[in-house]
Structure 1
Amino acid sequence: MFSSYDVIVVGAGHAGCEAAHAAATMGSTVLLITMNMQTIAQMSCNPAMGGVAKGQIVREVDALGGMSGIISDKSMIQFRMLNRSKGPAMWSPRCQSDRNMFAWEWRKTLEANKLIDFWQDTVNEVLVKDGRITGVKTTLGVTFSAKAVVLTNGTFLNGQMFIGEKVFGGGRTAERSATGLTEQLATLGFEAGRMKTGTPPRVDGRSLNYGLMEEQLGDEKPGKFSYTDTPSLTQQRSCWITYTNESVHDELKTGFEKSPMFTGRIKGLGPRYCPSIEDKINRFADKDRHQIFVEPEGWDTVEVYVNGFSTSLPESVQYDALRKIPGFEQVRMFRPGYAVEYDYFPPTQLKSTLETRLINNLFFAGQINGTTGYEEAACQGLIAGINAHRNVHEEAEFTIKRSEGYIGVLIDDLITKGTEEPYRMFTSRAEYRTLLRQDNADIRLTEKGYAIGLASQERYEKMIQKRDGVATLTEVIRSTKIKPEDVNNWLLSMNSSPLREKGSLYTLLKRPEIDQENIYGLLALVPNLPAIGEEVLEQTIIEIKYEDYLSREKQNAEKLDRWENLTIHPTFDYDRLGALSFEGREKLKRLRPGTIGQASRISGVSPSDVSILLVYMGR
């Protein structure tokens, strides 16, 4: 244990773990401070990783050299590729995780890094001198010096938990809140707000009647998140689906008068796309049922997560309502659901590196920035950890553009638009989602991770091998001619028009009726085709079938990049440009965009304001 470090990371959730791992892997000495060493990388809500858009983020974190994908692969109990019936831009990997195994694998990974030290305590003050971070002070009165600090406090800043009319301090069940830090940051000039999140009750799986539910199996051939050689899943646990009904809704309504959401005791906004069950039946009164996902918490536990039943109603109301759900008639509850209200700091106070504008080398990552979700937190922690290290070692900032990854979309949305409710990533937020697929995150980002010393040589070489494999296979397919007699019977069986003359395999693959599910049947008929790895084949087929869409998106992304490459000096005097609109000038002065591209996405900055900036900059 030392008293001085290159980087201090406050909080050991998903953001804190990725930040500590990244900074230490790149060569910084790191101190990870957590309130409880037993809850490192705790899955506070559902025991799962990935999902729509979130799975793409996990793959991007992995491609850059982060650990969330590897940890997920080591601890998953079920894997599903969501949205297979849609286009590949929508395919999203998701896994059900063993909650305890996930946390344990993360702790082992962090402890294996000799540049990471640990300290169990609560930080209640950051130390600042001449506008630059110099360290932190804890509730035990211990002071640690640092050249950079990353705050990843999650839901703990002045956290309050609500169950019916009961209110008590805490950021997570059985864990106290962190006080003092928000107040001190406010004295330094930071703006703070309040947000709300919630979690459902946990129940005893032995008390459930699965015969009344729909079984949800994992994929027959389960995939993985990581591009490395993590172990494949050989057995899986089922999840289950059931539904609420009008009796459940009527029971829940009996507790509305004691609901902290409806009585106004909770002021912060909750996640729009993951509402509590009471909010759902109140807002969607025309719906007579809502889906409930019954998710096991691990391999060796009977604890079950009731996904879709987040609530802060009195525990007796929760219990009585649960028992009216099919399959839950004899349910035994381990602990009730609850809501948490906590402090956050509007992310428009940050640079694209996640460094704060007010204090040099102070970084925010995760729910402190107003986001929700393990994946959103993890990618922010990764970027903050990378840039904390690079700042300390006087290296150039590291950022991801919107056209390069969902990580870039998320951070750009936060710093240019801000958020007044918990931000969650969706594929619809990305303009170039056909380019930003889950299958090609390594091609897009591994070279960047390798260049900064985070992704390993082995990762980089594996990516090059895959990229070259795709290029080689594409050329083979372009040059391969196929005879009608070799494929016509198969084409007719697929309700596809037969060939009348010898044709190109490349053109044949573009037919919409020939998809990922039946492609192997066609390729098996092609003589002298070289052996192909499944990963290379999948990406090659996607690139061929969506060539026109990808080409257009690349052209649009290149146009966007021209503005992204036009930087604006941090001290630019917008008052000198009298032609700017009043609102545009005020927003530009407050948010200080780093590029013309960022300026164009700020609400209130008009196209004419952007034109004025371009004219002034000589473009």
Structure 2
Amino acid sequence: MFPEYDIIVVGAGHAGCEAAASAANLGSKVLLITMNMQTIAQMSCNPAMGGIAKGQIVREIDAMGGYSGIVTDKSMIQFRMLNRSKGPAMWSPRAQNDRMLFAATWREMLENTLNVDFYQDMVNGLLVKDGRACGVITGLGHEIKAKSVVLTNGTFLNGVIHIGEKRFGGGRVAEKAATGITEQLISLGFESDRLKTGTPPRIDGRSLDYSKMEEQKGDDEIVGFSFLDIERIKPQQQRSCWITYTSDVVHDILKTGFEKSPMFQGRIQGRGPRYCPSIEDKINRFADKERHQLFVEPEGWNTVEIYVNGFSTSLPEDVQYQALKMVPGFENCRMFRPGYAIEYDYFPPTQLKFSLETKLVQNLFFAGQINGTTGYEEAACQGLMAGINAHQKASELDAVILKRSEAYIGVLIDDLINKGTDEPYRMFTSRAEFRTLLRQDNADLRLTEMSYRLGLASQERMEKVISKRESVEKVKDILNKVTLEPEETNDYLESVYSSPLISKQKAAQLLLRPMVNIIELINAVPKLADALSNFNKETLEQVEIQTKYDVYIEKEKELVAKMSQLENLIIPDNFNYDKLVSLSTEARQKFTKIKPRTLGQASRISGVNPSDVQILMVYMGR
């Protein structure tokens, strides 16, 4: 019934979809197995993509030829560029999406991807021979062979849903949990643990009074996520979100349910996400706060369903409902379904190689929440890399590994493997030490050429990058040649509270001033407007960023060069750390367990001191 595949991807969430797409586009024959063909690329929680650091990840996925950015652009109902008041390294795109259109677009793109087959069934076991994964066993008893297997099980591995004192199995509400895989992996020597996540109640938008809330409109300009020319909505078409707040009254009602809370009564053992806590966790941990912000987010164009962002909870339904009715604008609310918590198995990611292949079983890859992460974007980028490397392994090619200095994706994977995680891992800009280099605006300049050489990014993408790079250099050259007179610029400079010129100056030099904006400067100086009329806004903004931040960018590049010296010092696979008696006990244990590839990786392992790294360097003759 089934041919032998190059790669089997288990699970069709964000990680599984990206894994299937990347492997197939590289030329592998892929089978995507999901328990429900109707929930491919489901937005299980909030109907949004991007945000702080997450938006950078989506742009990196797109730059490499992944699908998440395209799907997001095609299904968005609102767009905002967050952190515009800060420096460009902090700018982060975020979109509200039509939940159903998002999933439908993903499925359509996968169905139009050569080399991707689909099958609806549960996978409850792996075929493992001589320490290698060589296929899967399904619930219907099929043994399907493959050269590599990618597990992207999300929250389904022995998933348990909690609503107050009610407890039942499930990977999402109304969807059954996946069983068998955890037990088999443990028998093979893997360590597993439990994590928790949650989701808020969904509300009938027709029952809300928006006049009591603050409107949050989208941006006047929609930049989007994909570097391709995707047809996006017009700014005036965007749907608004709304902001309201909890109160002491709401908190008091919620507290009445604490005695039935699965979290406070110990029925949930897994640790939840630190940076996206449940509402009951918020009012318990931040007792001094009189109110908490709630974002009222529409679920799509053609639905009245509302997502109450900030009100994640597993309290009893009646407590959720009574508390919500005390929120301004929610006095007459009708609940479509209650919030709930879900507890599931994950495998500490220190058990992985940088390729996301497991250390214990060859040709077996993990991606997404199975590795302890939270969020669609974190899952999707792991899926992209797992799909790439599963193809590479099946084709007997070298693994593709992104460095911390190359991408937020590299930061995420490096963090997971070196530090592990005992709580759902979420990406932040603060986790990246080279965030001036890793901006959302230059993801294509950083990654597309590498992906194109690999065979994933298209010719169209590569041509756009070449054109962008050439255009940026042409604009820089013009700015370095054009001389501006005081009488041409001083009216504009005074309008932005910048010192007037007392003598002529090159345009590039003037652009270094913090208050000077390249678009405004061009509009104010006819000479520049004529010289730069053929260049688009994206090119001009890229020139401004590179010009203003050139000193900082060069400093980060110097730091990258210094750190790369350690990255180039390879530690042999069979290195025996027990013979280095000078190492601290913790370092020896961590090195033996994680088996760092380089001295650079060894230096980033949690619990390892600089002296431990120096001992390694001395022993290796450095």
TM-score above 0.5, yes or no: yes
Structure-2 residue corresponding to 1:33: 33
Structure-2 residue corresponding to 1:61: 61
Structure-1 residue corresponding to 2:101: 101
Whether 2:84 is the aligned partner of 1:81: answer no
Whether 2:270 is the aligned partner of 1:264: answer no
Structure-1 residue corresponding to 2:603: 600
CA contact (8 A) 1:155 1:367 kept: yes
Once the two structures are superposed, the pairs formed by residues 382-401 of structure 1 within 5 Å of their partners are 382-401=384-403
Structure-2 residue corresponding to 1:610: 613
- Larger mean Cα displacement after TM superposition, 344-353 or 574-583: 574-583
Structure-2 residue corresponding to 1:273: 275
Structure 1: which amino acid aligns with 2:13? G
CA deviations 1:419-458 (Å, max 9, x no partner) are 0000000000000101100000000000111011110011
Determine helix, strand or coil for the equivalent of 1:598.
Answer: helix
2:440 to 431, 438, 441: 438
CA contact (8 A) 1:365 1:380 kept: yes
CA contact (8 A) 2:493 2:499 kept: yes
In structure 2, the CA distance between the partners of 1:114 and 1:212, relative to structure 1 (3 Å rule), is same
Structure-2 residue corresponding to 1:449: 451
CA deviations 1:237-291 (Å, max 9, x no partner) are 0000000111111111110100001000001000000000000011111111100
Determine helix, strand or coil for the equivalent of 1:317.
Answer: helix
Aligned mates of 1:142, 1:113 — CA distance in 2: 25
1:484 to 474, 486, 510: 486
2:590 to 577, 583, 587: 587
Determine helix, strand or coil for the equivalent of 2:602.
Answer: helix
Whether 2:246 is the aligned partner of 1:244: answer yes
Structure 2: which amino acid aligns with 1:16? G
Structure-1 residue corresponding to 2:48: 48
Structure-2 residue corresponding to 1:549: 552
Determine helix, strand or coil for the equivalent of 1:526.
Answer: helix
Structure-1 residue corresponding to 2:4: 4
CA deviations 1:39-93 (Å, max 9, x no partner) are 0000000000000000000000000110000000000000000000011111000
CA contact (8 A) 1:223 1:232 kept: no
In structure 2, the CA distance between the partners of 1:236 and 1:319, relative to structure 1 (3 Å rule), is same
Aligned mates of 1:523, 1:256 — CA distance in 2: 64
In structure 2, the CA distance between the partners of 1:523 and 1:434, relative to structure 1 (3 Å rule), is farther
CA contact (8 A) 2:522 2:529 kept: no
Whether 2:379 is the aligned partner of 1:377: answer yes
- Larger mean Cα displacement after TM superposition, 472-481 or 196-205: 472-481
Quote the offset at 1:468 in angstroms. 1.3
Structure-1 residue corresponding to 2:425: 423
Aligned length: 619
Aligned mates of 1:499, 1:121 — CA distance in 2: 71
In structure 2, the CA distance between the partners of 1:502 and 1:517, relative to structure 1 (3 Å rule), is closer
In structure 2, the CA distance between the partners of 1:523 and 1:337, relative to structure 1 (3 Å rule), is farther
Aligned mates of 1:512, 1:522 — CA distance in 2: 17
Aligned mates of 1:10, 1:183 — CA distance in 2: 16
In structure 2, the CA distance between the partners of 1:516 and 1:164, relative to structure 1 (3 Å rule), is farther
Aligned mates of 2:358, 2:87 — CA distance in 1: 38
Quote the offset at 1:606 in angstroms. 1.8
Aligned mates of 1:79, 1:195 — CA distance in 2: 31
Quote the offset at 1:524 in angstroms. 4.9
CA contact (8 A) 1:23 1:388 kept: yes
Aligned mates of 1:582, 1:322 — CA distance in 2: 52
Structure 2 residue runs without a partner (length 5+): none
Structure 2: which amino acid aligns with 1:258? K
1:575 to 559, 575, 578: 578
CA contact (8 A) 1:239 1:296 kept: yes
Determine helix, strand or coil for the equivalent of 2:390.
Answer: helix
Structure 2: which amino acid aligns with 1:86? K
In structure 2, the CA distance between the partners of 1:361 and 1:497, relative to structure 1 (3 Å rule), is same
Structure 2: which amino acid aligns with 1:170? G
Aligned mates of 2:529, 2:18 — CA distance in 1: 47
Aligned mates of 2:82, 2:420 — CA distance in 1: 29
Structure-1 residue corresponding to 2:148: 148
Aligned mates of 1:292, 1:169 — CA distance in 2: 29
Structure 2: which amino acid aligns with 1:482? L
CA contact (8 A) 1:584 1:604 kept: yes
In structure 2, the CA distance between the partners of 1:256 and 1:523, relative to structure 1 (3 Å rule), is farther
Structure 2: which amino acid aligns with 1:506? A
CA contact (8 A) 1:370 1:421 kept: yes
Quote the offset at 1:512 in angstroms. 1.2
In structure 2, the CA distance between the partners of 1:445 and 1:527, relative to structure 1 (3 Å rule), is closer
In structure 2, the CA distance between the partners of 1:343 and 1:294, relative to structure 1 (3 Å rule), is same
CA deviations 1:195-222 (Å, max 9, x no partner) are 0000000000000000111000000111
Structure-1 residue corresponding to 2:336: 334
Identity of counterpart residues, as a percentage? 66
Structure 1: which amino acid aligns with 2:225? F
Once the two structures are superposed, the pairs formed by residues 144-543 of structure 1 within 5 Å of their partners are 144-234=144-234, 235-515=237-517, 518-522=520-524, 524=526, 526=528, 528-530=530-532, 531-543=534-546
CA deviations 1:389-408 (Å, max 9, x no partner) are 00010111101000001000
Structure 1: which amino acid aligns with 2:119? W
Aligned mates of 1:393, 1:556 — CA distance in 2: 35
Quote the offset at 1:174 in angstroms. 0.5
RMSD, aligned α-carbons:
1.2
Determine helix, strand or coil for the equivalent of 1:237.
Answer: coil
1:561 to 554, 561, 564: 564
Aligned mates of 2:382, 2:525 — CA distance in 1: 42
Aligned mates of 1:180, 1:424 — CA distance in 2: 28
CA deviations 1:290-315 (Å, max 9, x no partner) are 00000000000000100000000000
Aligned mates of 1:114, 1:444 — CA distance in 2: 27
CA contact (8 A) 2:25 2:114 kept: no
Structure 2: which amino acid aligns with 1:157? L
Structure 2: which amino acid aligns with 1:113? T
Quote the offset at 1:519 in angstroms. 4.5
CA deviations 1:564-606 (Å, max 9, x no partner) are 2222232222223333222211110000111111100012222
Aligned mates of 1:564, 1:413 — CA distance in 2: 15
Aligned mates of 2:496, 2:510 — CA distance in 1: 12
In structure 2, the CA distance between the partners of 1:557 and 1:522, relative to structure 1 (3 Å rule), is farther
Q: What is the TM-score when the length of structure 2 is the normalising length?
A: 0.98
- Larger mean Cα displacement after TM superposition, 586-595 or 363-372: 586-595
Structure 2: which amino acid aligns with 1:112? N
Aligned mates of 2:172, 2:222 — CA distance in 1: 32
